[in-house]
């Protein structure tokens, strides 16, 4: 049994429209950081390979300090917000925690940007479904998981995660359940 998941309790992505968030240095001018722009390009390319004519809206994406109200999110004090998509601004705004970004690997950065673009570009909500694979390993089914996916799993299932992001067909070959499907 893996116990690494506990580490992830300290790593949370936030869907801003669910929480009250105050951000410093709100980005106001497109994608200001080249290191971020790279991942946005990768996202666009991946999106185009799944759906031709993927509409990519104007976005302001930047890095800064993210403050948040732990009480509003029911999170412990040790929880951190790595990125935020705020679809309520015009254009929509993504804020990335500079502290997290600077300490992150290439794949963790990609995962974060893809997740936030999943909210802001694809309009996706969180999907915290987990599956047990044939080898007994437990993995999140979607990049839209609330928590950071272990790098080892993201590396191994990167293609599946990207396919799921754009098509909702997950690594089991199933489409994501909609809320209606869960009504019973």
Q: Which among 8-16, 37-45, 51-59, 156-164 is the span making contact with Zn ion, rule CB under 5 A?
A: 8-16
Residue number of the CB atom closest to Zn ion: 13
Strands 80-86 and 92-97: antiparallel
Q: Give min distance, CB of 176 to Zn ion, in A.
A: 15
Rounded distance between C-alpha atoms, residue 181 and residue 173, angstroms: 17
The correct pick among 13, 43, 147, 161 for binding Zn ion (CB under 5 A) is: 13
Q: Could you tell me if residue 30 is left (phi over 0), alpha (psi between -120 and 50 degrees) or otherwise beta? A: left
For the chain, the farthest-separated pair of C-alpha atoms sits apart, in whole angstroms, at: 47
Q: Give min distance, CB of 116 to Zn ion, in A.
A: 7
User: Could you say whether residue 81 binds Zn ion (CB under 5 A)?
Assistant: no
Q: Is the dihedral of CA 58, 64, 69, 74 positive or negative?
A: positive
Q: Which among 6-14, 97-105, 147-155, 172-180 is the span making contact with Zn ion, rule CB under 5 A?
A: 6-14
Q: Give min distance, CB of 119 to Zn ion, in A.
A: 5
Structure tokens at 85: 């998509």
Q: Give min distance, CB of 36 to Zn ion, in A.
A: 16
Contact 171, 131 (CB under 8 A): yes
User: Could you say whether residue 15 binds Zn ion (CB under 5 A)?
Assistant: yes
**∠ at Cα 44 (38, 45), nearest 5°?**
90
Q: Give min distance, CB of 14 to Zn ion, in A.
A: 6
Number of residues that bind Zn ion (CB under 5 A): 2
Give the footprint of Zn ion on this chain (CB under 5 A): 13, 15
């Amino acid at each position: 049994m893996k116990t690494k998941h506990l580490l992830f309790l300290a790593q949370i992505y936030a869907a801003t429209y669910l929480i009250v968030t105050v951000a410093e240095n709100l980005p106001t001018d497109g994608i200001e950081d080249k290191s971020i722009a790279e991942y946005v390009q990768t996202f666009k390319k991946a999106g185009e390979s799944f759906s031709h004519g993927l509409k990519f809206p104007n976005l302001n994406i930047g890095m800064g300090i993210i403050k948040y109200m732990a009480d509003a999110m029911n999170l412990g004090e040790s929880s951190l917000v790595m990125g935020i998509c705020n679809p309520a601004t015009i254009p929509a705004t993504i804020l990335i925690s500079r502290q997290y970004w600077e300490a992150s690997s290439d794949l963790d950065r990609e995962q974060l940007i893809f997740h936030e673009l999943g909210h802001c570009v694809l309009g996706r909500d969180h999907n915290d479904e987990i599956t047990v694979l044939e080898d007994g390993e437990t993995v999140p089914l979607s990049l839209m998981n609330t928590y950071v996916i272990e790098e080892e799993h993201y590396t191994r299932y990167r293609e599946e995660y990207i396919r799921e992001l754009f098509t909702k067909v997950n690594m089991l070959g199933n489409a994501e359940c909609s809320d209606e499907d869960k009504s019973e």
